[in-house]
Amino acid sequence: MPHTQFLATGFHVPARVVTNDDLAQMMDTSDEWIVQRSGIKTRYWVDRGDTGVGLAREASRKALDKAGLKAADLDCIIYCTCTPDHFEPGNGVFLQRELGLSDIPAVDVRNQCSGFIYGLSIADAWIRTGQYKRILLVGAEVHSRGLDKTSRGRDTAVLFGDGAGAAVLAPIDDDGRGVLSTHIFADGRYAEKLWVDGPGLAHDPYVSVEMLEQGLHRAVMEGRDVFKFASVKMPESVAIALKANRLTPADIKLLVPHQANLRIIEMVQKATGLREDQVYTNIQKYGNTTAASIPIALDEALAEGRLKQGDLLVLTAFGSGFTWGSAAIRW
């Protein structure tokens, strides 16, 4: 069976940079608090006219260009987001249309911060079995429009950014290279620890003025609980990926973790026994872009020359659901 190879990656963020001082004009917060608690200094937020699919299209075009492929060469799209442009249908078909394609499948993955790893796991299974040979895997989010930008929402509003990352995946016959394994997990007992309650069809009516007044359409989070689980489950998932491939932390050239909080990433680094130079971070610039964070970080790491052929790359993520996971990749 072939392995799955990353042919190329690309990312795109909106033009508008939002600093911590900008946020302090909108709500009761400060640069000092945000940097100390999360490590975030700036994030990018969309302007009028931007859409999640628009960001995804730009990231996809960059990845396709780098892979030397045209959109018509793709035979499947997997689109990971928790901030879709519309309630229905999912963003996948809109991206397919934007890329000038029809007929090929467009799959929507709703696994929040773990979306890209869940999507990779699906893509990898299809590529290994030969079902698809050129898969576009996208993680893209527009959080900013949904955030409560008043002091009421300050614990979440300061953390999230908008952006898109894409990867073009294909089979590789070299036995030693490519995706070695993926590992995905979920625990629905904690679904309400980080969630957007409505609009939703569990409500009757599914949307109402009262719901909007209560702020049910805003993401709410029990940050400390999410933090605690993330700090345990991410290193655990890295250990599982290493064990599955009979590897050790010393074998890792680069760990690209989901960028949710610099303090969480530092705890993952320590718990896994890695040096700082083995762990990639860019949350300082982009904030938490959920499903886009790993492909954006991966594309930047590649541009900086942080991975060479044969290096071991490990991905890990944790987020709402709770969902989490990891992947081991021989570059």
29 counts as binding ligand UT7 under rule CB under 6 A: yes
Please write down the HEC assignment for all residues of 247-294: CCHHHCCEEEECCCCHHHHHHHHHHHCCCHHHECCCHHHHCECHHHHH
CA distance 155 to 143: 14
Q: Which of residues 284-323 bind ligand UT7 (CB under 6 A)?
A: 288, 319
CA distance 132 to 77: 10
CB 180 within 8 A of CB 3: yes
227 counts as binding ligand UT7 under rule CB under 6 A: yes
Please report how close the Cβ of residue 154 comes to ligand UT7 at its closest, in angstroms: 4
CB 166 within 8 A of CB 59: yes
Residue 48, token pair as written in the block: 């009028």
Instruction: Considering only the stretches 76-84, 154-162, 199-207, 243-251, report the one whose residues sit in contact with ligand UT7 under the rule CB under 6 A.
Output: 154-162
288 noted as active-site residue: yes
Question: Tokens 């074998």, residue?
Answer: 251
- Interface residue with ligand UT7 among 37, 41, 110, 203 (CB under 6 A) is 37
Ranked by CB distance to ligand UT7, the top (closest) residue is 223
The binding track of 174-213 with respect to ligand UT7, each residue x by CB under 6 A or -, is --------------------x-------------------
Q: Which of residues 46-85 bind ligand UT7 (CB under 6 A)?
A: none
Which amino acid is it at 52?
A: G
Rounded to 5 degrees, what angle do the CA atoms 96, 144, 303 make? 65
Size of the site for ligand UT7 (CB under 6 A): 19
Which amino acid is it at 175?
A: D
258 noted as active-site residue: yes
3 noted as active-site residue: no
223 counts as binding ligand UT7 under rule CB under 6 A: yes
Instruction: Considering only the stretches 13-21, 164-172, 260-268, 323-331, report the one whose residues sit in contact with ligand UT7 under the rule CB under 6 A.
Output: 260-268
* 106 three-class SS: strand
CB 40 within 8 A of CB 34: yes
Active site residues: 113, 258, 288
Residues that bind ligand UT7 (CB under 6 A): 29, 33, 37-38, 113, 154-155, 158, 194, 223-224, 226-227, 230, 260-261, 264, 288, 319
